């Protein structure tokens, strides 16, 4: 399995300040980004996997809506997460 419980805790600890803060917008965005990169690599080797492509598009939409929420609420946190994950604006 590509995403173990330890890896999730590491992601949330790095971006959500503590490992137990799984509901923070930054932690969720970081987790979605990790999953998006994994699915993108999978689709490079399996271009006809349309169910995975649909899941990828849904994840990108969820991440975008969380980023929009964070941008509306706190622009500094938004800029920090964009910079730390190296996302395009």
Residues of the chain below pLDDT 70 = 89
pTM: 0.91
Its domain, for residue 31, covers 5-85
The pLDDT value given to residue 18: 76
CA atoms within 13 A on the CB side of 52: 15
Q: How far apart are CA 67 and CA 89, in angstroms?
A: 10
- Residue written as token pair 């994994």: 38
Per-residue model confidence (pLDDT) at position 72: 96
Q: How many domains does the chain have?
A: 1
Residue 46: per-residue pLDDT: 96
Backbone angles phi, psi at 60, to 5 degrees: -65, -40
Question: Which CATH number does the domain housing residue 37 bear?
Answer: 1.10.287.10
């Amino acid at each position: 399995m590509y995403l173990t419980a330890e890896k999730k805790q590491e992601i949330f600890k790095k971006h959500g300040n503590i490992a137990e803060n799984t509901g923070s917008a930054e932690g969720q965005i970081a987790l979605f980004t990790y999953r998006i990169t994994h699915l993108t690599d999978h689709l490079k080797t399996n271009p006809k996997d349309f169910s995975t492509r649909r899941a990828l598009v849904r994840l990108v939409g969820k991440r975008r809506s969380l980023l929009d929420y964070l941008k509306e609420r706190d622009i500094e946190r938004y800029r920090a997460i964009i910079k730390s994950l190296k996302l395009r604006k």
